[in-house]
Structure 1
Amino acid sequence: MTGGVDLAACAEMLYLDLPMLERIRRISDRGLLVEIWDWSNKDIDALASSGAEFSSMTGYLTGNLTEPDGIAEILASAARSLDVADRLACPRLNLHGTGLGEGGLPLRPVQVVTPTMWLTAADTLRTLAELGEKAGRTFVLENLNVAVDHPGTPFASAADTLSLVRAVDHPHLRMNLDLYHAQIGEGNLIESVTEALPYIGEIQVADVPGRCEPGTGEVNYAAVASALKRIGYTGVVGLEAWASADSDDALDAFETAFAAARR
């Protein structure tokens, strides 16, 4: 079939009572793509032989986009991440404005982003895109909210993330437009996906408040799905959400919400 989206789900946030490999199998058995975070604490050989198709994974372990030592760290860990992505046949590697630590808090919080930091971040992202091109992979820069989950993260808003990706303008750097974070920080989700469409590498979703599956909060994800169909988005929509109760029920709700946009 042509047109429509592919659906993925994050194994870090579902089936929490099960080992990681079993979580991945449960998601894959539903015909969904699988997303993971930090690969360094996982058995990559086991994941590679699981039969699952991976959609995205963390693209760095340490570092940031603007400070000399942080840039060296993010480039080195991105190179290691690309090797793992090759083993998993994972097409997209996720980035943030700076390294995140316990609870998703930035390791080096930034309250004021200077013009020099903007230029340096764009240069670093361009280098990452070139690394991705050589490896046949795409880095995606994710927007985050600073009001609830990630205070002090630079380049966090959807508008800022889009500005950087647009400025670099490289096919191996795209935006991971997370609509949960965008709803908290900016709203206007349908306008956001429409404006960002040429630069989107993936869309992630969860409801607000609570960061659980569609239908548990205020976001009309059925309307978002219809808009994605209308504007011709044909990429991945990933559920990066906690299950409000049962993980199978959460995935049912996710699939129902995006049925109109699915391939």
Structure 2
Amino acid sequence: MLTPFTLAVCAEMIWQEKPIEWRCSRLKEMGFQVGLWNWPDHDLRKLETTGATFSIMNGYLTGRLADDDGADELLRTARQTAQIGKRLGVARLNLHGTGLGEGGLPALPCEVVTGPMWLKARDTLARVADMAEEEGVVFTLENLNLPVDHPGTPFARAEDTLALVSSVNHPRLRLNLDLYHVQIGEGNLIETCKACLPWIGEVQVADVPGRCEPGTGEINYPAIARALANMGYSGPVGMEAFAKADVEKALEAFKAAFTL
């Protein structure tokens, strides 16, 4: 039995008492690619020495999709981050509807998204895609959940990110489809995967409730793994989750859930 997917793990959320470079090296030893959050938090030289393959990293530092000043700032920091991404060999650079601050809350909360905001967000993402083409990188747009973790974040639902990315329809702009967030905010995981399939760059997973490894909550991840494989998806699946207890057992559970 093998996994048809490329498995990655967010290094920020596990072994938190260990240096980040130790975590990256250990994940590499265990056969996983590595996900990161904000690159300024780390010593890039130490990350380079780990030899890890980096699946995804936050693709901007500040900025927003849906207003002129925010869009210009997002493009500026996304281009800056693209240089770091190329240095580390990061496969995908991740975006959100707005910058996230302390505790994952939006830096500029927004309860109502207007029509002009939708048009501006699409225009901003088209600019990102053109910049990504120039730089030779790939950006993803991640869905989030509003009820629990990210209230007030515009363009948070998978329905929203799919609408934006599919309307731009550029190979340098993909979806980061986070099934933990989908389960909390929308549900219907397998049908959501089917709808998003042509634009998926990465699938991210954690169980609900608790945001721990597969098998600790209500989501039937082995069934989702089979469904993804039957759809023809063989791309990256990243565990962006805490370990409920022992980290290595959590990683084994993740791998087992996505082994067919």
In the alignment, which residue of structure 2 is the partner of 1:257? 257
Partner SS state of residue 98, structure 1: coil
Paired letter, 1:88: L
Q: Distance in 1 between matches of 2:32 and 2:136?
A: 22
**Distance (whole Å) between structure 1 residues aligned to residue 10 and residue 159 of structure 2:** 24
Aligned to 2:91: 91
Give the partner amino acid of 2:244.
Answer: S
| Partner deviation per Cα, 1:73-109 (whole Å, 9 max, x = no partner) | 1111001100000100112000000000000000000
Aligned to 1:139: 139
Tell me whether 1:174 sits opposite 2:209 in the alignment: no
Does the alignment pair 1:154 with 2:124?
no
Cα deviation per residue 1:34-86 (whole Å; 9 max; x = unaligned)?
00000011111211221100000000000100122211111110011000001
* Corresponding letter in the other structure for 1:8: A
| Deviation for aligned residue 1:4 | 2.1
**Could you tell me which residue of structure 1 aligns to residue 110 of structure 2?**
110
Q: Per-residue CA shift, 1:167-191, capped at 9, x if unaligned?
A: 1111100100000000001111111
Q: CA deviation at 1:18?
A: 0.5
Take 1:110 and 1:167, find their aligned partners in 2: how far apart are those partners? 22
- Secondary structure of residue in 2 paired with 1:130: helix
Counterpart in the other structure of 1:214: 214
Q: Secondary structure at the match of 1:109?
A: coil
Q: With the length of structure 1 as denominator, give the TM-score of the two structures.
A: 0.97
Name the SS of the counterpart of 2:40 in structure 1: coil
Residue 236 (structure 1) aligned with residue 236 (structure 2): yes
Kindly provide the CA deviation profile for residues 103-146 of structure 1, in whole angstroms up to 9, marking residues without a partner as x: 00000000000000000000000111111111211100000000
The residue that corresponds to 2:56 in the other structure is 56
Question: Which whole-Å CA distance do the structure 2 matches of 1:49 and 1:20 have between them?
Answer: 12
CA contact (8 A) 1:56 1:92 kept: yes
Structure 2 counterpart of 1:27: 27
Deviation at 1:162, TM superposition (A): 0.2
Moved runs in structure 1, 4+ residues, more than 2 A? none
Return the letter of the residue paired with 2:70: G
The unaligned stretches of length 5 or more in structure 2 are: none
In structure 1, the partner of 2:130 is 130
Inter-partner Cα distance in structure 1 for 2:231 and 2:243: 29
Counterpart CA distance in 1 for 2:61 and 2:37 is 10
Q: Distance in 2 between matches of 1:78 and 1:71?
A: 10
Q: Which runs of no fewer than 5 residues in structure 1 stay unpaired?
A: none
The CA distance in 2 between the partners of 1:152 and 1:229, in whole Å, is: 34
2:199 match: 199
Q: In the alignment, is the contact (CA less than 8 A) between 1:4 and 1:232 conserved in 2?
A: no
Deviation at 1:5, TM superposition (A): 1.1
Does the residue aligned with 1:170 lie in a helix, a strand or coil?
A: coil
TM-score, scaled relative to structure 2: 0.98
Inter-partner Cα distance in structure 2 for 1:40 and 1:68:
25
Counterpart Cα distance in 1 of 2:71 and 2:205: 29
SS across alignment from 1:259 = coil
Percent sequence identity is 56
